Amino acid sequence: MDILAGIPQLIVYGIISGSILALGGVGLSLTYSILGFANFAHGDLMALGAYIALGLLALFGGLGVLNNPIGPLSFGLGLVLAFLIALVLTAIAAILIDKMIYKPLRRSGPVIVMISSIGVAIALRNILLFFWGPQPWYYIEKIQISMKVPWLLGVRIKPDELFIIATAITLVILLHLFLTRTRMGKAMRATADNMELARVTGINTERVILWTWGIGALLAAAGGILAGIENKFITPELGWQMLLSIFAAVILGGIGSPYGAIVGGMVIGLSEEISTAFISTGYKPAVAFAIMIIMLLVKPTGLFGEKS
Amino acid sequence: MEHFIGIINYIVFFAITAGTYGVLSLGLNIQWGYTGLINFGIAGFYAVGAYTSALLSGPLPSAWDLRTFGGFELPFIVGLLGAAVVSGLLALLIGTLTLRLKADYLAIATIGIAETIRLILKNESWLTNSVWGLKGIPSPLYNPIQHGIGAFLKGHPNLPLWLHDLIFKGYDWFYLLLILAVLALLYFIIERIIRSPWGRVLKAVREDEVATEMSGKSTFKFKMQSLVLGAMIMGIGGSLYAHYARFVSPLSFRPLYGTFIIWVMLILGGSGNNKGAILGGFIVWGLWAGTDFLTVYLPFSATQSAALRVVAIGALLILVLLFRPQGLLSEEKRVSTILKE
Amino acid sequence: MSLLKVKEITSGYGDMEVLHNISIHVGEREIVSIIGPNGAGKSTLMKTIFGLLKPTRGKINFKEREIAGLAPDRIVRQGMAYVPQVENVFPSLTVQENLEMGAFIRTDDFSSRMEEVYELFPLLKMRKRQRVGKMSGGERQMVAMGRALMLDPELLLLDEPSAALAPKLAQMIFERIRAINETGIAILIVEQNAKESLKLADRGYVLASGEKRFEDTGENLLTNEEVGRLYLGG
């Protein structure tokens, strides 16, 4: 009975973690379906975003007023600004990486591009390691006390964590609007469905690819920064540690379905957290992996996947 | 002269490590080079081989160990073969679950497996002693050789210092010979296998799986055999590593050193070419060790220099893929494919 | 005047040459049918015209412009639209969105065009917001053709439009094709169902083993004994 009492709190943690995984997953799912390869450097794009935000935050450090906490949150406008700028800079970085490395390799086939992405992943991670070192860096110095929410089974949640969930929801809504209301968004969905048909229709698939990297990296960076807010600190391993869970989320949801990735992210996040009630926390990533393997054996196209 | 001997001793140590990596590359070459299987979980097979060998031939748990299992103190050869067998069984399990999936799913799954193995090594301390690792792994013929060296040196007290130092390190020379012997043996065995009908089917599977399946061959069976064979070789590599280092812990098998670097070695050396696999092992390890010396001249801290060197290795992989994807020694042409028979 | 002139085209996949020295032409507002046995190279010809395959020799002239070797997205801007045989719709998009994609390169207001397409395919109008992936084969074919029509093309390439369709549906599709032609669009159609497509066509070509065997009006080909025996299944 004691185990079950802790479950509502674990569900809260699962939703927070799931939101972050969902953001990472959507970006990965988009690039996977449109570019046609599993980008093993995606986690490190998340880390890159987190560190760019860190750097910008340090820059704003001189402007003290930006550090004043906003309301109940533990951080100020500085981090919000850093967040927005980091998103754009990470998107630019991803586009450059594609232009210099992935694009020339595309003619050699998706397998080669995938192998190269491991090289990109390791290089990115170690560039971060070079500049910032392996020790944890903190976005926020203060410790925040979690509030109790009596009408929700007495679970505890911090204002920062509400911010994380709210931000994730906002980004997902914005993405949804983009994919369903804008011309480029629909073109992206069309290209994810069938790239050759998209070309036949006259869609400029090269442009679609640029937008895909931009949006994928943007969401990845957001996920990385939110992870930094949740964990309070960041290390260069941040992205790689989440990568397996993110892949599980994408495969669970079905490659090419951004909505599937969101559902997948939440399922994986919840499963991982709830599993800690029953098995050692040391095996959390293995839970995601087990779910992924089961999905691959039962329905490889995922819950929402379409492609045969 | 002593300085020179120091260099020679270092080269022997370097060659042992490079040779071990060469064994791992040969294993990957069967899976990727010849069959087109993407195994990003080399570290898993490597670790399983090392731990198996350590538990089979290592000492019983000491009073301070968390470990309660193992330490059968069996001979080295049992450890070596045991490593191969257990790695092979692991590959069988993994293959059953994942070989029917597409290439990229296999890649993701193997990363997951390696990660799961690493977690097991960290968490199941009754088996593995967790992060404190297994120590005291015996090196083969260590006692007789050291005894002989000791006796020899005692009987010849007036040797010049450099000769004394050289002979003192004599065991390492033996181990180097052992590794080279294993490499040579594996090389010849694999070369024979590859030229057999079985090897030709592997190549056909890699080139055009659909056509091969339609000509009546069960591609699943062949891919499984390739996966298992490659894994067994990786297990042997793990055993060779464990008995030289005499200590293993989960840290020895991180993805960078246990998986990624071997991919760079094979791709640089030449996928589908066994000489290339071994050559790649020596070259990349040489670059890795060499840059270690060079970074002394740079104004960076130790961790920074290490990070820079890793970036260089990552860049090396990308550059090879961009400009010479077939590697240094390209694949040898084989006479006929299964489709022509 | 010839809208499309294909002159002595040789094309194929990699080292395999499928088409040998093919010449055909399509005039304005014509329906031209290409029939022949499996593997004759009909689809290959269509893909070569549309730029999905690069010919090794020969010329392709569309509206007096040389287009051989151009990429599909350039050719589509010249006023030619292509409906592939399989995977010819975007399954996760709605009917409306599929049509919108068809109009992607248009910079003008295409709502009137969309109305025209819905008039041609009234069934689609009722299912505007349905995801195409969930629709039947016949409905998908309509979406595929509607998508191509959004471009207001002068020439429409149809690759086996009735394939995998039940006879009644196939009839409906052929009838729709005639209706499309009546709005002034030339149509080049590759078909397995030789009889029906020749009935539809002004002119036809019979292709076999990558070569042109017969060339005549649709009617004549239908009544031609040899053609009937070899290719129309008696």
Query: What is the Cα–Cα distance from C57 to C61, expressed in whole angstroms?
Result: 13
Distance of CA B286 to the CA centre of its chain: 15
Q: Is the pLDDT of residue A59 over 90?
A: no
Nearest CB to A105; choose among B102, B109, B322: B322
Please tell me whether residues C75 and C1 are part of one structural domain: yes
Please tell me whether residues C47 and C68 are part of one structural domain: yes
Residue A213 lies in a domain: yes
Query: What is the Cα–Cα distance from C157 to B58, expressed in whole angstroms?
Result: 73
| Residue C217, strand partner residues | C203
Please tell me whether residues C74 and C179 are part of one structural domain: yes
Of B157, B50, B41, B173, nearest to B105 by C-alpha is B41
The answer to whether the Cβ–Cβ distance between C90 and A187 falls below 8 Å is no
DSSP for B27-85 reads HHIIIIIIT------HHHHHHHHHHHHHHHHSPPP-TT-S--S------HHHHHHHHHH
Whether residue A156 lies within 8 A of chain C, CB to CB, comes out as: no
Cα torsion angle, B166, B169, B170, B174, sign = negative
Rounded to a whole number, what is the distance in Å from the CA of A126 to chain B's nearest CA?
Answer: 5
Residue A173 lies in a domain: yes
Q: Rounded to the nearest 5°, which phi and psi values hold at B4?
A: -65, -40
Q: Three-state SS for C5?
A: strand
Query: What is the Cα–Cα distance from B111 to B255, expressed in whole angstroms?
Result: 9
DSSP for B299-317 reads S--HHHHHHHHHHHHHHHH
Q: For residue C19, what pLDDT is reported?
A: 87
Read off the pTM.
Answer: 0.88
Please tell me whether residues C165 and C74 are part of one structural domain: yes
The answer to whether the Cβ–Cβ distance between B318 and A101 falls below 8 Å is yes
Please tell me whether residues C214 and C123 are part of one structural domain: no
Rounded to a whole number, what is the distance in Å from the CA of A53 to chain B's nearest CA?
Answer: 21
Residue A72 lies in a domain: yes
Rounded to a whole number, what is the distance in Å from the CA of C89 to chain A's nearest CA?
Answer: 8
Q: For residue B1, what pLDDT is reported?
A: 67
Please tell me whether residues C27 and C56 are part of one structural domain: yes
- State the best of A197, A209, A306 to mutate against chain C, taking most chain C CBs within 10 Å: A197
The answer to whether the Cβ–Cβ distance between B109 and A293 falls below 8 Å is yes
Please tell me whether residues C98 and C186 are part of one structural domain: no
ipTM value, please give it: 0.89
Domain limits at A282? 2-298
Q: For residue B334, what pLDDT is reported?
A: 55
User: Which DSSP symbol is given to A69?
Assistant: B
Which chain C residues are closer than 8 Å to A187 by Cβ?
101, 104
CB atoms within 10 A of CB A301: 17
Q: Is the pLDDT of residue A47 over 70?
A: yes
Q: Rounded to the nearest 5°, which phi and psi values hold at B163?
A: -70, -40
The answer to whether the Cβ–Cβ distance between B318 and A292 falls below 8 Å is no
- pLDDT tens-digit map of A153-209: 778 888 888 899 999 999 999 999 999 999 999 999 999 888 889 999 999 989 999
The answer to whether the Cβ–Cβ distance between B97 and A37 falls below 8 Å is no
Nearest CB to B122; choose among A38, A247, A282: A282
Residue A307 lies in a domain: no
Low-confidence stretches of chain B (pLDDT beneath 50)? 335-341
Please tell me whether residues C175 and C75 are part of one structural domain: yes
Lowest mean pLDDT among B36-45, C190-199, C221-230: C221-230
Counting residues of chain C whose pLDDT is more than 70, the rounded percentage is 98
Of A67, A64, A31, A76, nearest to A261 by C-alpha is A31
Whether residue B112 lies within 8 A of chain A, CB to CB, comes out as: yes
Residue A304 lies in a domain: no
Q: Is the pLDDT of residue A114 over 90?
A: yes
Region C37-44: mean pLDDT is 84
Residue of chain A whose alpha carbon sits nearest to that of B102: A300
The answer to whether the Cβ–Cβ distance between A201 and C76 falls below 8 Å is yes
Q: List all residues 6 or more positions away from A301 whose beta carbon is below 8 Å from its beta carbon.
A: A254, A255, A307, A308
Whether residue A303 lies within 8 A of chain C, CB to CB, comes out as: no
Residue predicted with more confidence, B163 or C72: C72
Q: Would you place residue A65 in the very low, low, confident or very high pLDDT band (cuts 50, 70, 90)?
A: low
- Bridge-based pairing state of the strands A155-157 and A233-234: unpaired
Domain limits at C97? 86-152
Residue A308 lies in a domain: no
Which chain B residues are closer than 8 Å to A118 by Cβ?
40, 260, 263, 317
Q: For residue A268, what pLDDT is reported?
A: 96
Scan residues 165-224 of A and list those with Cβ closer than 8 Å to B: none
Please tell me whether residues C160 and C129 are part of one structural domain: no
Number of domains making up chain A: 1
- pLDDT tens-digit map of C78-112: 999 999 998 999 998 999 999 999 999 888 888 89
Please tell me whether residues C49 and C134 are part of one structural domain: no
- State the best of A193, A201, A209 to mutate against chain C, taking most chain C CBs within 10 Å: A201
* Pair C23, C7: CB distance under 8 Å: yes
Q: For residue B139, what pLDDT is reported?
A: 87
Please tell me whether residues C28 and C144 are part of one structural domain: no
Number of domains making up chain C: 2
Which chain A residues are closer than 8 Å to C101 by Cβ?
186-187, 190, 198, 201, 203
Please tell me whether residues C73 and C171 are part of one structural domain: yes
The answer to whether the Cβ–Cβ distance between A112 and B304 falls below 8 Å is no
Across the A:B interface, residue pairs with CB atoms under 8 Å apart total 116
Tokens coding C123: 């069934």
Q: For residue C234, what pLDDT is reported?
A: 43
Which domain-ending residue is among C101, C125, C152?
C152
CB atoms within 10 A of CB B256: 15
